[in-house]
C-alpha cells in the first residue's frame, strides 16, 4: 500500500507534487497496477470540447487488477461479506478466489448468451453478491454495465434501456427491503413492453416468488451458469474504453448517462478509497449505499476490491427490524470503516440513544458521510455517539460525474471540522468563482465550486449526447468543470459545500432534476402546469415541494394530491414522490414566461420575509395567493 499517505506533511508534499507535476504524480500511482500494455502518454485534455484522455494507448482489464492480481497473495482472504435483510438468515463470506471463479463463470455465461465487447448490459438487482459479480463479469468481457437502482419504476428503467440500447437485463425474481417484498421481475417485464433492444433476461432466484418467464428471452441465473467454466481470459480493453454508464437526474427531464472509462476510473477509485478511509490490510470496511448509485460502484465494489479490501454488502435498511440494525452489523463483523449518508444518520438520531445501548462499536476506526453536506447537529451526534468521539469523521464531497471522492479529510491525517468537506485530495484543483467566472482567491470567500484541472475519473461524456455533457458541465465557466454546487472557503482555508445552485434537488443524497419530477406530475390528466422546488427537510436534507395548477372538476383537493403523488411514484419511483403538493391558481412568472423559483423556494421553506420585488412579475397577485394557500398568512 505504498500509495497511502501516512502524515499531514506527507499530504502537503503529495498535494503540491500533484499540482506542480500532475502527469508524473498520476503515472506513479497507475504504475502500481497490472497493464497489458503501458500508456504512451499520461494525459491529453481540453475542457472546451470537452475531450479528456488519461493513460493513452494503455491496455488493461480492471478485473485482472481486482481478481487475478490478488489470487496468489489474498486468494483465501474475504473479498465480500454479505449480510441479508433478515438478521436470522445465513450470511455469506466470499473469498477473492471464490469471487474470481464466480466472475469467470458468469463471464462465460454472458458470452454464451450473446454478450460481446461494447454491448450494454442493464443490472437491476437487489443488494446481493451476484450484483457485484454481474458488474465484474461485464467488465471482464468488455461489456458496458449500467446499474439501475432496483427501486426505480418500470418507466424509469425503460428510459435507461432505450437510451443505451441495452442488449440484456440482469435481475431477480424479487427483492427484500426491510418489511417489504418488491416484485422486481414484474417491473422488468413492464419496462420491456416499452423497449425493443433486449434479447435476454437472466433472473436470480432470491425470494422464490412466482414470476412470468418468457420463453426464448428469460432464463434463470442458476440454469444459465450451469456447466460454465470457472476460468475466463479477461478481454483486453483500452484505457479510454467505456467501463460503465450510470444515469443521473439532470435539470432537464431526460436522465443523462454519465460515462466512466476503464483506466482512469480504476486508478482514482483505488487511490481515493485507500487514502480517505486509511484502509489497512485485514480491516473490514462497510459502505451502506446501494450498488445502483455511484457510491456503490466506487466504494462498495471497485475501490475496495482494487485495494484488496474486505467489503461488506448489506441487503436491508437501517431501521429493520429495529433502529439498532446498523450497530448490530458493526459489532457482528467488527467493522473498522463505516460509510453512510446523513439521511440515515438523521433518521437514526430520531430514535434516540436507546437502540445503541446493546452495542459497543469499539471496532470502528473511521466513520464517513456521503451524498450531501451533513448538518452540524447530525455531525456531532454521529461523531459523539457512533464514533465515541475518537473516530475521525470524513465528510466526503463528490458526484456521479467525478467518479470518486474529491474533497474530504483523510481519516486521522488531515484536520476536519463539523459540516466541512475540508481539503481536496491530491490531484484535485478546486476553485471558487463568482457569477462571471472570476476565481476568488484567499479565505472567507463564497461562490460557485469549479475544478480547473482534470483528474483520472472525470466524466468523459454523456452517453449518445456529447453536447449535453459540454453544456451541463463545461459551458458555464470557460476552461472549468462546473459542479453545480455553491461553496465557501472559511478562514482556515477549509471548504464547506453549500448545496445545489441549479434546478436539482438533493433528496437523501440522490439528485432529482426538478424538470424530471415536473414532467411526471404533468402526465396526470388533470394537471395544467407544475413547478417543483426543494425545501429543507429534517431527515432527507431536502424534500420535494410541488406547486400544481389543476383542473379541479370532479375531484377533491385531497384526492388530487394523492393521485399526483401516485403518478410520480409510478413514473419515476418512490424516491421522487413529492413531500408536499400545493394546488395553486397560478405560478409566479417573469414577463418572458420564466417561473420565479426563488419565490417558490421561500414559500416552501416557510420564509416569506424579504420576498424581493415582485412588481415586475407578469402576475404579482398570485404570490399572495400562494402564500395564503401554504397557510403562512
Asked which of 235, 261, 284 is the last residue of a domain, the reply is: 235
Least confidently predicted of 114-123, 193-202, 410-419 = 410-419
- pLDDT of residue 632 exceeding 90, the answer is no
Q: What is the CATH number of the domain that holds 140?
A: 3.40.50.980
Q: 553: pLDDT confidence band, cut at 50, 70 and 90?
A: confident
Cβ atoms of 486 and 506 within 8 Å: the answer is no
Q: Which residues contact 231 (CB under 8 A, 6 or more apart)?
A: 104
Does residue 81 form part of some domain? no
Same domain for 208 and 267?
no
* Chain segment 243-279, per-residue pLDDT in tens: 999 998 655 557 789 999 999 999 999 999 999 999 9
What is the domain range of residue 455? 8-61+244-498
* Cα atoms in the 13 Å half-sphere on the side-chain side of 131: 27
Same domain for 488 and 533?
no
Q: Pairing relation of β-strands 59-60 and 461-462? A: unpaired
Does residue 287 form part of some domain? yes
Same domain for 379 and 280?
yes
> Other C-beta atoms within 10 Å of 482: how many?
19
Rounded Cα–Cα distance for residues 435 and 392 (Å): 35
> Other C-beta atoms within 10 Å of 498: how many?
15
Least confidently predicted of 174-178, 210-214, 347-351, 461-465 = 347-351
Task: State the pLDDT at residue 251.
Answer: 52
Rounded Cα–Cα distance for residues 392 and 367 (Å): 6
Among the listed residues 114, 126, 242, the one whose alpha carbon sits nearest the alpha carbon of residue 168: 114
The CA distances from residue 200 to 126, 203, 358, 435, in Å, are: 19, 10, 47, 49
Sign of CA dihedral 548, 549, 551, 556: positive
Alpha helices for 412-526 (secondary structure H): 466-469, 514-521
Distance of CA 418 to the CA centre of its chain: 23
- pLDDT of residue 618 exceeding 60, the answer is yes
Does residue 316 form part of some domain? yes
Asked which of 444, 463, 498 is the last residue of a domain, the reply is: 498
Tell which wins on pLDDT, 364 or 503: 364
Rounded Cα–Cα distance for residues 570 and 336 (Å): 39
Give the pLDDT mean for 579-594: 83
Does residue 356 form part of some domain? yes
Same domain for 483 and 589?
no
Same domain for 215 and 259?
no
Among the listed residues 355, 212, 266, 252, the one whose alpha carbon sits nearest the alpha carbon of residue 26: 266
Rounded Cα–Cα distance for residues 160 and 361 (Å): 40
Q: Pairing relation of β-strands 541-550 and 527-537? A: antiparallel
Same domain for 443 and 515?
no
Same domain for 431 and 410?
yes
Q: 616: pLDDT confidence band, cut at 50, 70 and 90?
A: low
Task: State the pLDDT at residue 133.
Answer: 98
Same domain for 433 and 332?
yes
Task: State the pLDDT at residue 591.
Answer: 62
Does residue 324 form part of some domain? yes
Does residue 91 form part of some domain? no
Same domain for 122 and 100?
yes
Q: Pairing relation of β-strands 78-83 and 92-95? A: antiparallel
* Cα atoms in the 13 Å half-sphere on the side-chain side of 73: 11
Q: 1: pLDDT confidence band, cut at 50, 70 and 90?
A: low
Give the DSSP H/E element, type plus range, for residue 201.
strand 200-204
Q: Which residues contact 378 (CB under 8 A, 6 or more apart)?
A: 342, 345, 346, 349
Local structure of residue 167 (DSSP, 8 states): S
Q: What is the CATH number of the domain that holds 487?
A: 3.40.50.12780
Question: CB under 8 Å, gap of 24 or more: what pairs does 351-359 form?
Answer: 351/319, 351/323, 353/385, 355/322, 355/323, 355/324, 355/327, 356/324, 356/327, 356/385, 356/386, 358/324, 358/327, 358/328, 359/324, 359/327, 359/328, 359/330, 359/331
Sign of CA dihedral 223, 228, 232, 235: negative
Same domain for 227 and 254?
no
pLDDT, averaged across the chain: 93
Task: State the pLDDT at residue 594.
Answer: 67
Same domain for 255 and 216?
no
Task: State the pLDDT at residue 620.
Answer: 83
Task: State the pLDDT at residue 381.
Answer: 95
Least confidently predicted of 63-77, 500-514, 537-551, 578-592 = 500-514
* Chain segment 286-312, per-residue pLDDT in tens: 999 999 999 999 999 999 999 999 999
* Chain segment 619-628, per-residue pLDDT in tens: 888 999 999 9
Q: What is the CATH number of the domain that holds 595?
A: 3.30.300.30
Q: Pairing relation of β-strands 41-46 and 51-56? A: antiparallel
* Chain segment 168-177, per-residue pLDDT in tens: 999 999 999 9
* Chain segment 457-489, per-residue pLDDT in tens: 999 999 999 999 999 999 999 999 999 888 999
Rounded Cα–Cα distance for residues 473 and 452 (Å): 12
Q: 615: pLDDT confidence band, cut at 50, 70 and 90?
A: low
Asked which of 481, 498, 515 is the last residue of a domain, the reply is: 498
Task: State the pLDDT at residue 510.
Answer: 80
- pLDDT of residue 499 exceeding 80, the answer is no
Same domain for 514 and 439?
no
Does residue 298 form part of some domain? yes
In the chain, the number of structural domains is: 3
Task: State the pLDDT at residue 310.
Answer: 98
Task: State the pLDDT at residue 34.
Answer: 96
Does residue 185 form part of some domain? yes
Give the pLDDT mean for 400-417: 95
Question: E strands within 398-494?
Answer: 430-433, 445-451, 461-462, 481-489
Cβ atoms of 421 and 396 within 8 Å: the answer is yes
Give the DSSP H/E element, type plus range, for residue 176.
strand 175-177
Task: State the pLDDT at residue 512.
Answer: 82
Cβ atoms of 623 and 614 within 8 Å: the answer is yes
Amino acid at each position: 500500500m505504498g500509495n497511502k499517505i501516512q502524515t499531514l506533511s506527507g499530504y502537503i508534499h503529495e498535494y503540491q507534487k500533484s499540482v506542480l507535476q500532475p502527469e508524473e504524480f498520476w503515472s506513479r500511482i497507475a504504475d502500481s497496477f497490472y497493464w497489458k500494455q503501458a500508456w504512451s502518454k499520461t494525459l491529453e485534455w481540453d475542457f472546451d470540447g470537452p475531450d479528456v484522455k488519461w493513460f493513452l494507448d494503455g491496455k488493461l482489464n480492471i478485473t485482472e487488477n481486482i481478481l487475478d492480481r490478488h489470487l496468489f497473495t489474498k486468494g483465501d482472504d474475504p473479498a465480500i461479506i454479505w449480510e441479508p435483510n433478515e438478521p436470522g438468515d445465513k450470511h455469506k463470506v466470499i473469498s477473492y478466489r471464490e469471487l474470481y471463479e464466480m466472475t469467470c463463470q458468469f463471464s462465460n455465461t454472458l458470452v454464451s448468451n450473446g454478450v460481446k465487447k461494447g454491448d450494454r448490459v442493464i443490472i437491476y438487482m437487489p443488494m446481493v453478491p451476484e450484483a457485484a459479480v454481474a458488474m465484474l463479469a461485464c467488465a471482464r468481457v468488455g461489456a458496458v454495465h449500467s446499474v439501475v437502482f432496483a427501486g426505480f419504476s418500470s418507466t424509469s428503467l425503460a428510459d435507461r434501456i432505450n437510451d443505451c440500447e441495452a442488449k440484456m437485463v440482469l435481475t431477480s425474481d424479487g427483492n427484500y427491503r426491510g418489511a417489504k417484498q418488491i416484485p422486481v421481475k414484474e417491473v422488468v417485464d413492464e419496462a420491456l413492453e416499452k423497449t425493443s433492444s433486449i434479447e435476454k433476461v437472466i433472473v436470480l432466484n432470491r425470494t422464490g416468488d412466482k414470476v412470468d418467464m418468457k420463453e426464448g428471452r428469460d432464463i434463470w441465473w442458476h440454469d444459465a451458469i450451469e456447466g460454465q467454466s470457472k476460468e475466463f481470459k479477461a478481454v483486453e480493453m483500452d484505457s479510454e474504453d467505456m467501463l460503465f454508464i450510470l444515469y443521473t437526474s439532470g435539470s432537464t427531464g431526460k436522465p443523462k448517462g454519465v460515462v466512466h472509462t476503464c483506466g482512469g476510473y480504476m486508478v482514482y477509485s483505488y487511490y481515493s478509497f485507500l487514502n480517505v478511509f486509511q484502509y489497512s490490510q485485514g480491516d473490514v470496511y462497510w459502505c451502506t449505499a446501494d450498488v445502483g448509485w455511484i457510491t456503490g460502484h466506487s466504494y462498495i465494489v471497485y475501490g475496495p476490491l482494487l485495494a484488496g479490501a474486505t467489503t461488506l454488502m448489506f441487503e436491508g435498511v437501517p431501521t429493520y427490524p429495529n433502529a439498532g440494525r446498523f450497530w448490530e452489523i458493526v459489532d457482528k463483523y467488527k467493522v473498522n470503516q463505516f460509510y453512510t449518508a446523513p439521511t440515515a444518520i438523521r433518521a437514526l438520531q430520531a430514535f434516540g440513544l436507546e437502540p445503541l445501548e446493546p452495542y459497543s462499536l469499539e471496532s470502528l476506526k473511521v466513520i464517513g458521510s456521503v451524498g450531501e453536506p451533513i448538518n452540524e447537529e447530525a455531525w456531532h451526534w454521529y461523531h459523539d455517539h457512533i464514533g465515541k468521539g475518537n473516530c475521525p469523521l470524513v465528510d466526503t464531497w463528490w458526484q456521479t460525474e467525478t467518479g470518486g471522492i474529491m474533497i474530504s479529510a483523510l481519516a486521522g491525517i488531515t484536520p476536519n471540522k463539523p459540516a466541512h468537506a475540508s481539503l481536496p485530495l491530491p490531484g484535485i484543483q478546486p476553485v471558487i468563482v463568482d457569477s462571471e467566472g472570476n476565481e476568488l482567491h484567499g479565505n472567507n470567500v463564497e461562490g460557485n465550486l469549479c475544478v480547473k484541472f482534470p483528474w483520472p475519473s472525470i466524466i468523459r461524456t454523456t452517453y449518445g449526447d456529447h453536447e449535453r455533457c459540454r453544456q451541463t458541465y463545461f459551458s458555464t465557466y470557460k476552461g472549468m468543470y462546473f459542479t453545480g454546487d455553491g461553496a465557501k472557503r472559511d478562514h482556515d482555508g477549509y471548504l464547506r459545500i453549500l448545496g445545489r445552485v441549479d434546478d436539482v434537488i438533493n433528496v437523501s443524497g440522490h439528485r432529482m432534476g426538478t424538470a424530471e419530477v415536473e414532467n411526471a406530475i404533468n402526465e396526470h390528466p388533470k394537471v395544467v402546469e407544475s413547478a417543483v422546488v426543494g425545501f429543507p427537510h429534517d431527515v432527507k436534507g431536502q424534500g420535494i415541494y410541488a406547486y400544481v395548477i389543476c383542473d379541479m372538476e370532479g375531484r377533491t383537493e385531497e384526492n388530487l394530491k394523492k393521485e399526483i403523488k401516485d403518478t410520480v411514484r409510478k413514473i419515476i419511483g418512490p424516491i421522487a414522490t413529492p413531500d408536499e403538493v400545493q394546488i395553486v391558481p397560478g405560478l409566479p412568472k417573469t414577463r418572458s414566461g420564466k417561473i420565479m423559483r426563488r419565490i417558490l423556494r421561500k414559500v416552501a421553506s416557510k420564509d416569506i420575509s424579504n420576498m424581493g420585488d415582485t412588481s415586475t412579475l407578469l402576475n404579482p397577485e398570485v404570490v399572495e395567493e400562494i402564500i395564503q394557500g401554504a397557510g403562512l398568512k
